[in-house]
Amino acid sequence: MSNESKPLAGVKVLELGTLIAGPFCTRILAEFGAEVIKVESPDGGDPLRQWRKLHAGTSLWWSVQARNKRSLTANLKHPEGLAIVRRLAAEADIVVENFRPGVLEKLGLGWDVLSGANPGLVMVRLSGFGQTGPYKDRPGFGAIGESMGGLRYITGFADRPPVRTGISIGDSIAALWAAIGALMALRHREVNGGAGQIVDVALYEAVFAMMESMVPEFGVAGFVRERTGNVMPGITPSNTHTARDGRHIIIGGNGDAIFRRLMRAIGRPDLADEASLADNAGRDARADELYALIGAWVEARDGDEVLAAMEAAEVPASAVYSVADMFRDVQFAARGMFEPATLPDGQSMHVPGIVPKLSATPGSTEWLGPKLGEHTDEILTGLGLSIEEIVALRDKGAI
């Protein structure tokens, strides 16, 4: 699908971010048609270009995180480099940045300056602790947001220290809130007089917002949620079990009718019909007993047999997938969740499919993450600069 037919076609976004949170926000916007110009330092660009697994000297992650974006190099320590950024911001609908609070202001790129030249600007600011408060000047990564926001404390087993999830989920959650905030601010601009505003996303608050019932439970009952391993706290039965062949299987039998089907599927119709287990409160009171008998039933069978029995009984269940399992799965394939792509040297690869799926105006991958500064000349020409002026800027170290 061409960018012109996507839902964010015509929206201009300037990205002044690195690594994960800011660039993931703009990646989402770019996937759905926004024109994203990513400003990078001429000296190596975004550090993500060198993170994790590399191919031909560039991160494979980069090819996804920067897809559909245009790369412009500008030296923010050079006055003419800063002038270019200000000109681009003056034409943008959205600026996304994830510097520590105060950095853009020191560069002359703060809200007062940019909105003064562009009153309709939406400025999305991602940082560890937000733009205000006593912690605002502290450095903060996703791991810090996950820790302070409550996620790390409740993740893992009670007899061991807290653990992290396998990805930088704090950054990713913040990016999602940032994208939502940007679109809400655009909507406000459209219907309420055309003024822009700041969208202030703190990583710790983005994580904190996902903490379900934690706040009212503590405020009313003084209850502190603790680590419960693979068990869903207070909701029974929902747990991970290990099959005879070593596969890990998650079974969610915590609905009243689902629980009855689960008990019949594992040969315990007596428990399916027991009045004391008819609701969650009764089941949770006997959680250890229920998990022991479900675990014993799973351990006596191979994973495929367990999954087939759960499917036949209409009980939610899944093996715990590795990425190799995902590539073999027919549901992933049917939903187009692995898009074929080709790297510049001809190496074939797959990139993740676009989420969410819009029926009329879906997102798509138009190109993979660009080379550093790949679009600099094109973008500057679009600003009205001549080839001679661009060459002179490059000679000065401004771009």
Catalytic residue set: 171
Question: Would you state the structure tokens that stand for residue 136, as one six-digit string?
Answer: 């605002």
From the list 159, 1, 163, 168, the residue with the least C-alpha distance to 68 is 1
Question: Would you state the structure tokens that stand for residue 110, as one six-digit string?
Answer: 């703060």
Q: Are strands 58-59 and 54-55 parallel, antiparallel or unpaired?
A: antiparallel
Distance in angstroms between the alpha carbons of the first and the last residue of the chain: 32
Q: In degrees rounded to 5, what are phi and psi of residue 95? A: -115, 130
Question: Would you state the structure tokens that stand for residue 21, as one six-digit string?
Answer: 């949170």
Q: In degrees rounded to 5, what are phi and psi of residue 35? A: -85, 110
* Integer Cα distance of 168 and 152 in angstroms: 12
* Integer Cα distance of 26 and 23 in angstroms: 5
Catalogue the E-assigned strands of the chain: 12-16, 35-40, 54-55, 58-59, 69-73, 94-97, 122-127, 197-202, 238-242, 248-252, 317-319, 338-342, 348-352
**Longest distance between any two alpha carbons in the chain, whole Å:** 85
